[in-house]
């Protein structure tokens, strides 16, 4: 009974949150352009779906997120594996990697838009940059966490370098790697929106700016809800990957 009840706690908290939101909007007496009610947002959501604008702009943002996530994760895992195997290279590149994280992406986003243009490329690069570092760090930590005894066993079996990587290092470091991917998946949404808020004529960031300029607060709520849905979906996909590839970690019941 406890297990079945726990499955509904998330949904129950959402329902209670929407009820509290509606109650505050009703009792506060604030105008709709300041605090719309849940029904106002729902009506705006249906209208945006009906005219196709919401699906179009969501698709643009999702494409930017997907490309940025793929580029960022690929480069981060490749460089992270290289750094994990070479401490000398890590000492050379660490100052630059740490310094790159000291600069907020919001600060350099306008420069990237100027250098790379106003199209999708700048948004993908911004998204990849914000994903890069957490995945890189988790890759280094994951590869270095592989027990040395397992390396000795692979050497005794005369495994090749490729076999050691595929049969030992990747499976052993996969829990940490997927943890970094979980963080990167949620951050990728932030990266795409930062780029769109700086300069974009399409995407959910564009809808946010339009809703802000036109005092269409309901549209702002709709765009934010779609961003939350994208982040939750990406997070859920990574969670499913963890369940699929980390079955060996689960305790037998």
Domain map (residue ranges) of the chain:
51-246
State pLDDT tens for residues 165-189: 888 888 888 888 888 888 888 888 9
Query: What Å distances lie between residue 48 and 11, 102, 200, 248, CA to CA?
Result: 24, 39, 19, 45
pLDDT of residue 10 exceeding 80, the answer is no
> Is 51-246 a domain of CATH 1.10.3720.10?
yes
> What's the CA angle centered on 194, arms 223 and 229, to 5 degrees?
35
Of 218, 188, 195, give the one whose Cα is nearest residue 121. 195
Q: What are phi and psi of 54, to 5 degrees?
A: -65, -45
Of 138, 111, 139, give the one whose Cα is nearest residue 125. 111
State pLDDT tens for residues 109-160: 888 888 888 888 989 999 999 999 989 999 998 898 888 888 888 888 888 8
pLDDT of residue 1 exceeding 70, the answer is no
State pLDDT tens for residues 44-99: 999 999 998 999 999 999 999 999 999 999 999 999 999 998 888 888 988 888 88
Helix 38-50 and helix 217-245: axis angle, to 10°?
Answer: 80
Model confidence at 253, pLDDT cuts 50, 70, 90, reads very low
Give the model's pLDDT for residue 60: 93
What pTM was computed for the model?
0.86
Give the model's pLDDT for residue 77: 92
Which residues lie below 8 Å from residue 100, measured CB to CB, with a gap of 6+? 129, 133
Average pLDDT over residues 16-23: 90
CA distance 246 to 233: 20
Give the model's pLDDT for residue 174: 87
Give the model's pLDDT for residue 161: 87
């Amino acid at each position: 009974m406890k297990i079945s009840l726990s499955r509904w706690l998330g949904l129950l908290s959402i329902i209670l949150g929407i009820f509290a939101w509606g109650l505050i909007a009703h009792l506060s007496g604030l105008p709709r352009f300041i605090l719309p009610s849940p029904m106002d947002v729902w009506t705006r959501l249906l209208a945006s779906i009906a005219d196709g604008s919401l699906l179009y702009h969501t698709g643009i943002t999702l494409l930017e997120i997907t490309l940025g996530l793929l580029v960022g994760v690929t480069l981060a895992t490749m460089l992270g594996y290289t750094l994990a195997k070479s401490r000398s290279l890590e000492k050379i590149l660490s100052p630059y990697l740490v310094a790159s994280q000291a600069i907020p992406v919001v600060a350099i986003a306008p420069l990237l838009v100027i250098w790379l243009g106003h199209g999708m490329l700048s948004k993908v690069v911004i998204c990849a940059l914000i994903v890069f570092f957490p995945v890189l760090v988790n890759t280094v930590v994951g590869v270095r966490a592989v027990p040395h005894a397992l390396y000795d066993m692979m050497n005794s079996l005369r495994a090749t370098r490729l076999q050691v990587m595929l049969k030992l290092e990747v499976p052993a470091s996969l829990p940490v790697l997927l943890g970094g991917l979980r963080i990167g998946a949620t951050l990728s949404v932030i990266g795409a929106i930062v780029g769109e808020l700086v300069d974009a004529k399409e995407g959910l960031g564009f809808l946010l700016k339009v809703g802000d300029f036109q005092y269409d607060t309901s549209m702002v709520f709709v765009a934010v809800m779609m961003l939350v849905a994208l982040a939750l979906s990406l997070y859920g996909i990574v969670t499913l990957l963890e369940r699929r590839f980390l079955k060996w970690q689960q305790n037998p019941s």
